[in-house]
Structure 1
Amino acid sequence: MTTKTATGTFESEVMPYLNQLYSGALRLTRNNADAEDLVQETFLKAFKHFDSFQPGTNLLAWLYRIMNNTFINAYRKKTREPKTSTVDEIQDYQLAQDTSHPETRSAEATALDRLGTEDILAAMDALPQEYREAVYLADVEGFSYKEIAEILEIKQGTVMSRLHRGRKKLKDLLQDRLILSRPVGEATDRNLVTSQGGK
């Protein structure tokens, strides 16, 4: 395969994932400029090692693995001021709910539709990094347990554990915000019903 042909193949197969990778990079870096740099670095490494990609496997998962490793090696050690997520990132989260992978689809994710962008941002940002990564890759990107394990380079059982704990924490955070977002009377009535449920 000539260099020109290889470049054309890479562009036609990888470029369609540009926006999706950028959303993932923004989730990791919390900064637009750093996210752009991370995606660029990911694409350069992916192009350099494109001959190692195994046709028939999940290309997006392969790209995410490169990006995650690049972030760990080059970005995580940097100390910066707190980053602010963008509205686009959360819109991507909301739009992905209907197309999430059936194996990792969580019932709690549908509650996001009832909350505003700020509530979702706060709930997601409140999760520990390892839980946030797992929940994002499963419920936003729709990856399977096996694919997430390959991306994060951890055991599949660890993925399932992080998802279970992460979703539970997210559920609690979302539930608190759903209650607080309701009219006072409605929230009070709900709490009353809950407290009487065992009677």
Structure 2
Amino acid sequence: MTKIEFNTLVLRQASSLRSYALHFTHDADDANDLVQDTMLKAITYYNKFKEGTNLKGWLYTIMKNTFINNYRRFVKMSTFVTKSDEISSPNLVFSSTKNQGESKFVMDDIKKALEKLPEDYYVPFTMYFEGHKYHEIADHLEIPIGTVKTRIHVARKLLKKNLKAYDNGVAKPVYAEVE
């Protein structure tokens, strides 16, 4: 098969690739970028494709691996949260409140709860929250994976205890008992 014939076959798969890319990205622009990267890699490495095998499956594998590699690269580029940083992660945009005035108090409470965590629990938890895998955290901190899992578990329990007023995502009023 010539390179031109191969390119034509790959281009015919574009719409199928686009819908598969949307499955990964949930965003049309990101999906188009992923399709473009996939097609570029396929055309660049067309000599690796074995004629007579499933082209669509080969392209889907390239796409899946490209998406995973891009995600890993994104996670590695993320910076570590330090106690002095404001908690303004995009992951926290989906707040536990709908009232913007109240959400400032919620964010302050989350920040205070994080600051209460001992350093041994704070660092693994924030790294995990940022998307790092257990083994990456263990390598970075030079501790066993089991210790990482335990520290993250304990940190979550401590945070849950310190933020119990927001149980089920709803702030509950705290009433002082009158004697």
TM-score, structure 1 normalization:
0.40
Q: Which has the higher helix share?
A: 1
Of structures 1 and 2, the one scoring higher in RCO (CA 8 A, sep 6+) is 1
